Structure 1
Amino acid sequence: MTGLEIGLDGYDHHMDQYLTFLAIEKGLSEKTITAYSADLIRFGEYLKERNVADVSAIDTAVLLRYLIALREAGLSARSRARHLVSLRGFFKYLAQERIIDQNPAQQIDLPKTGLHLPDVLTVGDVECLLGTPDRSKPEGLRDVAMLELLYGAGLRVSELIQLEMNGINLEGGFVRVFGKGARERVVPVGRIALSAIRDYLIQARPLLLKGRASTALFVTRRGGAMTRQSFWHLIGRYGRQCGLKKKLSLIA
């Protein structure tokens, strides 16, 4: 670090400097700057509530928890993505000015949902899908965890089935996924999905593996990694039980 101790007054100071930079150096409109300002002020209030004392203490985990808090407050994926853009730009500026060593928001992403559930299915449809797996069986707990993670974190199906054990951080509340071009992204996960994953890891995964070793997060009864084909077979079966065959064919 530069040796500067930057308190919350410092956060406000650097925020003001950044907004001035956007206006003068970047020539952004007043409307755009007002939107950035609102996002950064809301984040500043979040820091104050949690007694985060200086900018150097804001790491990727803090930002992930903030994005999860926004989701649980009811903000849409589009609104959360806008907040993330605001934070990325602010921390990029701080890094360029050598106020911090690196941008903690750089690797965080909010990808579009692989199932496009909000666009194709109603809330009732999604609730039916999530409620259909038999949670008394290991496969049911696994399927609930997969669906909650797919829906809650907005992963693509290919990202979901390729997740490995070292890619999930339950304590930090995020997953690390590799998308196109092997690009790594850090994606925040909500508390409901995290709870479903914990249940699966404790109660179901050991029963599915039966003592066998696997690096895959989601495994089959044979101990292998879940495949894309197997996942869509499960989705189709649950969809038929919910009467969603036609809707699911639109997103398959």
Structure 2
Amino acid sequence: MLADQALALFDGQLKTQNRSEHTVIAYHNDILQFLNFLGQEKGVEPEKISIEEVTVDWIRSFLSDLTDQGLERKSMARKLAALRSFFKFLCKDGYLVQNPVQRISTPKLGRKLPEFLYFEQMEKLLQTPDCTTVLGARDQVILELLYGSGLRVSELATLNREDVDSDQMLLRIKGKGKKERLVPITKYAFEAIQAYLSMRENSQKALLLNYQGSRLSVRSIRRILNNLANQAGLPLHIHPHMLRHSFATHLLDGGADLRSVQELLGHAKLSSTQIYTHLTRERLREVYDETHPRAKYS
């Protein structure tokens, strides 16, 4: 079977699976890019290539060419996923006997270092809400708990008033996998919670409410945080997890041990927390390069 016929059949298969138009186009273009590469290497038109001609070596040559072009591993992995789906379909429907992608492993993706706010930026953000209004007082609670206790936004949204232990200054958090953990809250967070609740007329069990008196959603928290960042004049797109990253980074910068940070974040594996040690090393290198006179020599 000619490659262009096979690609048309695959496009049709994706559409019957109710894939989005964006996905169909992306997969089509990725496969077409491979066929164009193969055509150039063989010196023939792409539409004259037979799918039986495709071997594991040609797939590897294509990936090697993408590497030489400087393509990111994430993009390479996506193109390989498209080829994997394409040839799996051809084999499953009997158009091809052997899958040339079967022995190709997906390139390992490098872990992206988490984004965080510097202490000065965080302080600026914390001073932004107008705490003389009930909504401003609520927004202060959002900031204090995301940053002061390192909560996930989903954990914050599901907090109830009864989850706040005023005597021991602790929060009872329902984390991933319905696992519960106790997290300390700062004096600032506790005072913010008390101020907010004293201004609030609604006695609903949810800790954070929207202007209509219903539980605040994750989406609304994201929107509120983004608005506060704009008011603070921060030149960044601020998302809730960035405050969690800042919480962990600032703890480690202050001398906290990794195991304690793991416990506070509710990470099941220490490896999930170790990404922050890479981040602090990057910061140390940056400070060193910018401030040490011998490091500036070029």
Please tell me the TM-score bracket, short chain as reference: 0.3 to 0.5
- Higher RCO (CA < 8 A, seq sep 6+): 1
The normalised TM-score by structure 2 is 0.41
The normalised TM-score by structure 1 is 0.48
